[in-house]
Copies of this chain bind each other. A is one copy, B any other.
């Protein structure tokens, strides 16, 4: 290899993925992904696409025809929603209460969109009334909000947002990256016009695709665009022709990723969305009880805490990196550090999809107890486990 030694095969070692994603992937999904590749216009693959769309509609709770997986990770889904619905000069209202709202602002500004923000301290959620008032003040074409803020662990109530937007003639774009498959997401019932997610969170599929869905009002806006979508790769009209009946070649779909998502969605629907949500909630409650018993505090406001992503403040004087390194090296556990304003200030413990289970909860509490002790933080020995087990013992 040009005189240098060739690289060896990659053997990453086993991890317990309890960070902000990717989450644990069921072995049967990994196995489905490794099936021999077929062509992107093969009748068998086209059938898989149709099934995948039908399953995505069930997971998004929508009848939207335009429901498919964008060939990129979650952020490609965000960009697809913004780039297709907005044109240069359009007005967008963005709720910013964490990193991902901020990203929407950056993305939309790159598109020549006129962005107005409403802001909330990190860890808080927006009140539907303040969204309504901001729409009346700004008169935007669209409103963009994050259902589950992965950077803060805050859960945005979304039931009324669609109605509020619709009554004020604005489109609603909702980020469900860290909620889809783990928390209730009701695209049609809530009146969400465009919604995107990622595969590597509560769907427990490897990262690589971004499920998206566009409703009738979004479709109408797209059909009436003055200019083509700025992105060829993410043009929903062309993508819809490939995923739709025309089967018009657009790009070579990531075949293996679609194999994986098909199997991951089968796993989700076999469990059932409601059972899955209940499981996420129960394991979150056990973890929260344990963390609090160990003296750790959530960064998200009471009543707004995501079951899927538990962000807790790092106690004063504790070495963030040393704790995360110890968890990784001694236990193979990945938890997430803080992003942006929360860098060095919070840990993010994900209980998503396959990873939301009692084993994860007990393991991370036990390992954290060791790591905190090493940092000189006094916790009542075993208190975390005891508190978590008490939740599991309750009905």
Contact = CB atoms under 8 A, between A and B. Distances in A.
Copies of chain A in the complex: 2
A166 interface: no
Interface stretch (A38-46, A127-135, A137-145, A363-371): A38-46
A269 B37 contact: no
Given A255-B207, A263-B9, A228 B110 contact: yes
Given A200-B252, A251-B75, A30 B39 contact: no
Interface in A181-200: 198, 200
B75 A6 contact: no
Interface in A35-56: 35-40, 42-45, 48, 51, 54-55
Interface string A222-254: 000001111111000000000000000111111
A44 B9 CA distance: 12
Given A252-B207, A266-B9, A233 B334 contact: no
A202 interface: no
Interface string A83-106: 000000000000000000001001
Contact of A7 (B44, B54, B249): B54
Interface string A22-36: 101100001111111
A393 interface: no
Nearest to A103: B232
Contacts of A38: 12-13, 15, 17, 22, 334
A73 B253 contact: yes
A58 B107 CA distance: 34
